[in-house]
Structure 1
Amino acid sequence: MTQANAFTTTFQNPKLRLLNGLKAGSKPVMTFMGLSSVRTAQIVAQTGVDSIILDCEHGNISDDSMHNMVAAIAALDISPIVRIRAPLPDLIKRTLDTGAHGIMVPQINTAAEAELVVKYSKFPPYGLRGQGSPFPGLAHGLTIPQYMKSANETLLTCIQIETKEGLENVDAICAVDGVDIVFIGPNDLAQSLLGYVPAKGDEPEFVGALDKIVAAARKNGKWVSRLSNSGKLAKEHLNIYDTVALGADMKAITMWFQNELQDVKA
């Protein structure tokens, strides 16, 4: 059975800023947040970003904070995406029940792992996701019946390719029905391929890996994205990628203080 999906949906919802930007080809910009703070989430949501990825893999965001931050971000008409820590059914269910506009799953190494993510991200008949939470509709501006009708074709399922094994299987992973976005984790990918981070950016093996992932995503009709560590790099990357994640809250704070303190102490 071919799944209803984000690429072909005709369901119109102005609150789904990231999905709408991807479909329009407007090159939306995301950013990561790893700090547990509703107020910080609100501040970042008003900077002009299109989506905020709550990092529940490496950040210090608790389950309770995840719920509150998703609600706060969505209330400002920015798309909350949650990066979970592993492709586990209970984490997928719990995350989507916050009302997140999508999930990001790290270190997908095989097509079977990608299929599991899709299975537990979709309601029947396409998957095994259960329904019971009153919260998702709130973050989508919908009633629960409306949400149930539209979720399978509007939620964004994003998987990360960031290991040597994932790279070897990238074409099969990208071919999985129900995967919407393929996101490159350049630091973990560099560590896996080169044995160090960050990549200099011109290593043939690393550059070849990036090209291979982009080509597999394009071949299989998926959106493709990556982390960008500066605005200048993000602008370059958007010539190739459909969306990028521009840095992170913790890095932004660190860089601001380092730069300003250099001026103070000069």
Structure 2
Amino acid sequence: MWVCSGSPLVAEICAGAGLDWLLVDAEHSPNGLESILAQLQAVRGYPVQVLVRPPVNDAVLIKQYLDLGVQNLLVPMVHSVTDAEAAVAATRYPPAGVRGVGSALARAARWNRVPDYLTTAASTISVTVQIESTEAVVAVEDILAVDGVDAIFVGPSDLAASMGLLGQQEHDDVQTAVVHCLAAANRAGKPAGVNAFSPATANGYLDAGARFILVGADVALLARGSEALAAAFVPASGDDLPGTGASDGGISDSSTTPSY
């Protein structure tokens, strides 16, 4: 499942749920270096794999994530072989890549307590690249062939948008493109994952060869669960609720327009 709240407590709750893996997201969530570090520490004691998605395929940011101790990266918006090669290079020390050397200062090396970290670090890191555009779907076989790309993950929402089908990730054309990518990954002998909150769609992608899948998000579960409580216990008009008027010290009415 997605872990998007930025909360180490929520991440730990999710880590103890019995799920196989979590995705700590920093592309569409309020996660910075400090909150990612705290979540890595919070989930460390649980038998769950953790992927972390940076907001952009950037060597400097990826370097910081790796130094924090991130070992499984999900790199977004990889549209081409060049993008995939850049993602891999960001995880390798020179001469194999461009990762800056700072292991003496880094949690990843336990502050130089891990013997031979500089020579073994690459073997401890997985790189999953995200296929989420028509350009990437066309190039998927070549992207899969990039040395150091361990897996692909298909993002149907952005893929749908790139196909002119914004908000229609269940569209037949989108699903056909996703299945095409899953099949390409299976032929290449590399795992492929996909995001699918609909149980029917998720099961369909699993049947089509997806090896890992995202089927929920912490913030979505909280939003839908709290809405269900409101629907069950709050009258539609609110008129019959005691203590809701501003005049009697209750909760005052507010505009339906969100304020930030």
Shorter-normalised TM-score: what interval? Answer: 0.7 to 0.9
In structure 1, C-alpha distance between the alignment counterparts of 2:225 and 2:50, rounded to whole Å: 25
In structure 2, C-alpha distance between the alignment counterparts of 1:245 and 1:207, rounded to whole Å: 15
The equivalent residue for 1:117 is 87
In structure 1, C-alpha distance between the alignment counterparts of 2:24 and 2:63, rounded to whole Å: 16
The equivalent residue for 2:192 is 224
Q: In the alignment, is residue 168 of structure 1 matched against residue 138 of structure 2?
A: yes
The equivalent residue for 1:248 is 217
Q: Structure 2: which 5+ runs fail to align?
A: 236-260
The equivalent residue for 2:31 is 61
Q: In the alignment, is residue 32 of structure 1 matched against residue 2 of structure 2?
A: yes
Paired residue type of 1:136:
A
Partner SS for 1:188: helix
Match runs of 1:1-266 below 5 Å: 31-124=1-94, 126-132=96-102, 133-137=105-109, 143-145=113-115, 147-201=117-171, 203=172, 205-231=173-199, 233-239=201-207, 240-265=209-234
Q: Say which is worse superposed, 127-136 or 153-162, in terms of deviation.
A: 127-136
Superposed displacement of residue 86, structure 1: 1.1
In structure 2, C-alpha distance between the alignment counterparts of 1:252 and 1:146, rounded to whole Å: 42
- Deviations 1:225-253 (Å, cap 9, x if unpaired)? 01121455444433321111222111111
The count of residues paired between Structure 1 and Structure 2 equals 231
Paired residue type of 2:167:
V
Superposed displacement of residue 84, structure 1: 0.6
Q: Is the 2:133–2:158 Cα contact (8 Å) retained in structure 1?
A: yes
Superposed displacement of residue 124, structure 1: 4.3
In structure 1, C-alpha distance between the alignment counterparts of 2:196 and 2:71, rounded to whole Å: 21
In structure 2, C-alpha distance between the alignment counterparts of 1:263 and 1:210, rounded to whole Å: 37
Q: Say which is worse superposed, 31-40 or 176-185, in terms of deviation.
A: 31-40
Q: Structure 1: which 5+ runs fail to align?
A: 1-30
In structure 2, C-alpha distance between the alignment counterparts of 1:96 and 1:237, rounded to whole Å: 31
Partner SS for 2:90: helix
Superposed displacement of residue 198, structure 1: 3.1
Superposed displacement of residue 223, structure 1: 0.8
Superposed displacement of residue 45, structure 1: 0.7
In structure 2, C-alpha distance between the alignment counterparts of 1:101 and 1:169, rounded to whole Å: 26
In structure 1, C-alpha distance between the alignment counterparts of 2:101 and 2:72, rounded to whole Å: 16
In structure 1, C-alpha distance between the alignment counterparts of 2:120 and 2:44, rounded to whole Å: 17
Q: 1:99 to 1:220 in 2, by over 3 A?
A: same
Paired residue type of 1:229:
F
Partner SS for 1:144: coil
Superposed displacement of residue 260, structure 1: 2.9
Paired residue type of 2:230:
L
Superposed displacement of residue 149, structure 1: 4.8
In structure 2, C-alpha distance between the alignment counterparts of 1:188 and 1:251, rounded to whole Å: 18
The higher-RCO structure (CA 8 Å, 6+ apart) is 1
For normalisation by structure 2, the TM-score amounts to: 0.81
Q: Percent identity?
A: 28
